[in-house]
Structure 1
Amino acid sequence: MSLTANDKKAVGYALTAVLLWSTVATAFKITLNYLTPLQMVTAATAVSFAILFAIALIRGKQSLILLELRRMPLYYLLIGAINPVLYYLVLFEAYSLLPASEAQPLNYTWAIALTFMAAVILKQPIRKRDWAASALGYLGVLVIATRGDVLGLSFSNPMGVFWALLSTFLWAAYWIINTKRNAESIVQLVLAFGLALPFLIIWSLISSDWSNIPWQGWAAVTYVGLFEMGITFLFWMMAMKTATNTSLISNLIFLSPFVSLLLLNQILGETIYPSTITGLILIVTGLILQRLRFGRERSADR
């Protein structure tokens, strides 16, 4: 099948986003050598807010930002409390306790967590293949968390696994709450990050010391703010808007965890256990299974 010019652009945008996202697990671990999780969330949020706000101004979205803020201030305070505050605090705590090669695959189960939260909160039915996908995904979690000792249930770091899995439910909650509002994504992010930032700054100034952070720490956290929370998201949005069929690019996201493992091994020297690769394959297989549509189920799913 030949690609249209727009599809080629979309694939280019999507691959750029995937490659950038593949680097952030490495950036997380480097940053955590110099900053606490709270400092990391605060600084990365500031960087991300600055770049997203600048882009919103360039696109002439300032009036829409003010309109949304006047309409639903409590809503944006709530989603700001979840993302960036709670989600990234929990995620970075997981990364501080686990090797990034283990924390990152566990975080990919957020789509499975979304299935269960949508069933409870939105009363959406859980399909048979959702159960199968969940079983594969959480079996993958078990394989990674025990480093292959599934029967012995010997967890490498139980608290790290707990925080990593908790982050998936927080991220799922964020997306469910987002279904209540149809504002542009960049407007929602600017408001959520902007309202969360003063709280994060005050909290971090009270509870931590910023005076001895070297330039390496500032460089690393700036990278996280730019490419985990900011610019990369815009590349992905452009890909989704440009593609004539989003299925062309949606599965490219599954390249990210495998590229990330390679970078963690080559840059940080992390040991990639066979159990990590096996678990990740199980998780990704489950996620792909969730996306498949089978003829017999199509009418029931609609």
Structure 2
Amino acid sequence: MKDQKRATRYALATVAMWSTVASAFKLSLAHLTPLQLLFFASLASCLTLAAILAATGRLGLVRALSRAQWRRSFLLGALNPFLYYTILFAAYDLLPAQEAQPLNYTWAITLSLLAVPMLGQKLRGRDVAALVVSYAGVVVIATHGDVLGLHFASPSGVVLALVSTVVWALYWILGTKDDRDPVVGLLANFLCSLPLTLLAVLCFSNLWPDSWQGLAGAAYVGVFEMGLAFVTWLTALKCAENAARVANLIFLSPFCSLLLIHFFVGEAILPSTVVGLGLILAGLGVQRGL
């Protein structure tokens, strides 16, 4: 049943959760390696999604997936969460949260670029304008405002953050023909990625963290960023009478996130971050015709 007020409540709950994750990433990475964070967060996400499906009587749909659907899950799970979050967490490990978080918002621009060769879509003038404005914001953030000098504080971190947007866009493009229940599909993807993540953490890191704070942070990321936020966002769009009005609420998240990064992570928010984030969001607004 369509209910715009209910949709708005779910969307705001999603925005609230997404606003906390940059801080959660950074605080967790003080106690965990990126691979440790990914493994324990993925495990928490699997338990959360399974509990949601069990509570709604849909857990049996996971067992009913065909071999072809499990093969798709392995491919998609290798992209997200395994490759995407491995790269994203590595970027957060190298960059201040206030820089990594806005750069991640350029994935929508990356998606429109990849859709040209992969889906046969045309690049509109609006898309080109959005690209120019948004990536101008990337340069402002990455250079701390020293645009003419082009001195990048952490070139590796910036590259990793932007590469993560390519992986995320590929994941969504390949998932356009996925006809499974979205929550069932996400759980299957995460289940298929767990062996990859476990193997990676055993090869390149220690499995067990040195402190409980790391496990608590990973549990928070898995439950909220990788689990509940996805479900509440889908519910918001499903209930919405006007999906665009609900989707526009996502523009609140990055600014709320900067406040939380300042107060909980302790980063002094640079003027260049605010200007760059404004340009990125302006580019996204141009792309959506706002």
Sequence identity (%): 49
Superposition pairs for residues 214-225 of structure 1, below 5 Å? 214-225=211-222
Superposition pairs for residues 1-302 of structure 1, below 5 Å? 6-292=3-289
- When residues 250 and 211 of structure 1 are mapped into structure 2, their CA distance, relative to the original with a 3 A threshold, is closer
**Higher alpha-carbon deviation: 177-186 or 198-207:** 198-207
- When residues 217 and 144 of structure 1 are mapped into structure 2, their CA distance, relative to the original with a 3 A threshold, is same
1:57-87 C-alpha deviation (Å, 9 max, x unpaired): 2222234323334232221111000000000
- TM-aligned CA deviation for residue 123 of structure 1: 1.3
Tell me if structure 2 keeps the 8 A contact 1:69–1:76: no
Q: In structure 2, what residue type is equivalent to 1:243?
A: A
- TM-aligned CA deviation for residue 279 of structure 1: 0.6
Report the Cα distance in structure 2 between the residues aligned to 1:175 and 1:17, rounded to whole angstroms: 19
Report the Cα distance in structure 2 between the residues aligned to 1:237 and 1:180, rounded to whole angstroms: 17
Q: Taking structure 1 as the reference length, what is the TM-score of the superposition?
A: 0.93
- When residues 129 and 5 of structure 1 are mapped into structure 2, their CA distance, relative to the original with a 3 A threshold, is closer
- TM-aligned CA deviation for residue 212 of structure 1: 4.7
Q: Which runs of 5 or more structure 2 residues have no equivalent in the other structure? A: none
- TM-aligned CA deviation for residue 207 of structure 1: 3.0
1:144-170 C-alpha deviation (Å, 9 max, x unpaired): 000111111100100000000000010
Q: In structure 2, what residue type is equivalent to 1:185?
A: P
Q: Taking structure 2 as the reference length, what is the TM-score of the superposition?
A: 0.96
1:273-294 C-alpha deviation (Å, 9 max, x unpaired): 111110100000110111117x
**What SS does the corresponding residue of 2:3 show, helix, strand or coil?**
helix
Report the Cα distance in structure 2 between the residues aligned to 1:292 and 1:117, rounded to whole angstroms: 20
